[in-house]
Amino acid sequence: MILSFAQMEETPMPQFKGGEKTTFARMYTDAHNRIMRSRLEPGASIGLHTHEGNSEAVYILSGTGKALYDGGEERLHPGDCHYCPEGHTHSIVNDGTEDLVFFAVVPQHS
C-alpha cells in the first residue's frame, strides 16, 4: 500500500499538544497506526506530552531542531530518528532557520 503524502491535504494544528505556533501534518490513520509527514516552521513546536498507551518514532527529513526527552535535550538533524517509548515524555521544537520536516509513526494499540 502506497501512502502519497504529496496528494494528502495538509492539516494545520495550532498549538498542537500545547506547543508554539502551528504544526502542519499530512496523515493516514487506521486501526493500527497513525502515519504522518509533518512540518514545523521556525519557532514552532509540538508541546511536551507523555505517550500513554502508544509510542512514537520520528524520522527527520529536513531542517534542524531538538527533542526535549525525559528532562533532557537531543539535537535533531536530517537522517536522525527520535524514539519516544510508551510512558515517556517528549516535545519536538524547531529552533532552526528553515522548516523542520519529519515522518512519524504512532502505533495504535487495540
CATH number at residue 60: 2.60.120.10
User: pLDDT tens-digit profile of 3-54?
Assistant: 999 999 999 999 999 999 999 999 999 999 999 999 999 999 999 999 999 9
Pairwise CA distance, residues 11 & 70, whole Å: 28
Question: What's the predicted TM-score (pTM) here?
Answer: 0.94
Residue 29 lies in a domain: yes
Question: How many structural domains comprise the chain?
Answer: 1
Pairwise CA distance, residues 41 & 24, whole Å: 9
Could you give the C-alpha distances from 5 to 8, 12, 42, 52, 102, in angstroms and in order? 5, 15, 21, 27, 12
Nearest 5°: CA angle at 90, between 102 and 108? 70
| Count of positions (residues) in the chain | 110
Give the range of the structural domain holding residue 86, as residue numbers without chain letter. Answer: 11-107
